[in-house]
Chains A and B, each alone.
Chain A
């Protein structure tokens, strides 16, 4: 089966720092593929190149068989890639439901529509509300985003990613800053998405990674040193040495 996402020979450096060094990676449809690696390994840089925020120096990114390497970020979103941000990135001055509705609206044709009040389009509002219900934020729908807690912001990032209906979700440390109980809830939630969405997950929380991932790739100094099933990664000597710091 052809992979949903194919990354081939991707390179990116900032001055003398090589952030992405000949990365090759396939993500299969429906899997949760985790990328782990120590701080500064280039995980977020990799995500940025997949979402289109950064352009690679060399290599190709292919989604569903079509080359998207040089597509701008907004065009990639249209083709079915969405990302969540490690540092919460929402429209703070808007309400929760308005934020999520914008994600739904993005897939509802163009938005050069000037007359009809956006908040009265039930097709969009209902879908947004459903995404909020899924992450349990429906009771806060009409609050300003800026009034929500950090944990709720993390939930919102997921709700927005869900609402965008993207086939491929790039989740950049969704558990960052969450307590143990909240993390466990999120793991349950993402487990429930298995098979419906394809997820490329970057995460530091190893319990979450090994609970969720179908496959794991290990990124060290911009290079992928191993890819395999969780059990294989756990047993891999090079990984243990480079990442888990064991002899």
Chain B
């Protein structure tokens, strides 16, 4: 264990805590904390997916919440039609269908919006991804069939083999394992040849093009991978909250995701998870004291960005990296 760095220790301890504490709370009758943990783990997956393109790829996507919404509606819409009729093609409670829809629609949305957005860079990329996110938001807001603005209640959760998502423990278990897999996936990708090109293009795109890399295609591939992962998080979130609304895709949600990544530490394995944990816990604690919790919350966030280089994970970085 001596070769584990401080950052490595924090990661391992954090993940162990997430594995043990929430089930403990549930078993001791404090279901509220289990709820909180499920939400932060699911948003952790979304933040991990965003970190792939934001932290390692330098692509500041301000529309990532759209994928959460798409994944959640991929559960809500088929489930709605299975209950109330219509749209026979997808009307079903089958979780595997929901999953395929969530991942497929996210991939398609990422491919189309990414292909256009990645023609721009810098602040224009931020603006155009935000615009695409808002397009998804307004689209679902205008769909009266699914209650538009008021949102949609999911009466029946996705039915999966072996797993019962109605059980908070099993839903948490699935979310936790998914988070671990998402983290390992991003770590593997980042260290692969693909990942090296992605990070090279973040540091110096002109150099990478000169070396013979068509960086546009590499970035687009990363964008699609990230979008699909985030769509998966949406699939889980829909099943968790059983209430979905266009609000999930609003640009402020994208901003929150971005903040989780930066707060925890971009381009680190555990940073996004730490970010989503701290974000949700602090939000919860502050809002129990005062309805004006946004103010101290905002000040804290500004403080972290100003004074801690590399986010909260930066605190644990020793001399030897």
Contact = CB atoms under 8 A, between A and B. Distances in A.
Nearest to A92: B203
Interface residues on B, range: 20 to 34
B206 interface: yes
B84 to A, nearest CB: 42
A72 B214 CA distance: 9
B208 A102 contact: yes
Interface string B181-201: 000000011011111110110
Interface in B152-192: 188-189, 191-192
Given A113-B194, A118-B191, A118-B192, A102 B210 contact: no
B209 A105 contact: no
A185 interface: no
A77 B208 CA distance: 10
Contacts of A237: none
A112 B194 contact: yes
B289 to A, nearest CB: 40
B25 interface: no
Interface stretch (A1-9, A82-90, A147-155, A196-204): A82-90
Nearest to B194: A114
Interface-central residue, B195, B197, B211, by most chain A CB under 10 Å: B211
B211 A91 contact: no
Given A102-B196, A164-B211, A117 B191 contact: yes
Interface residues of A, number: 37
Contact of A118 (B195, B207, B214, B221): B195
Contact of A113 (B193, B210, B211, B215): B193
A119 B211 contact: no
A101 B194 contact: no
Contact of B213 (A94, A106, A116): A106
A98 B193 CA distance: 11
A101 B208 CA distance: 12
Contacts of A99: 200
A94 B199 contact: yes
B298 interface: no
A78 B213 CA distance: 9
A23 to B, nearest CB: 21
24 contacts: A51-B210, A72-B209, A73-B210, A74-B211, A74-B214, A74-B215, A77-B211, A82-B210, A91-B199, A91-B207, A93-B203, A101-B196, A105-B196, A106-B212, A107-B212, A111-B193, A111-B197, A113-B193, A114-B192, A114-B194, A115-B188, A116-B192, A117-B191, A118-B195
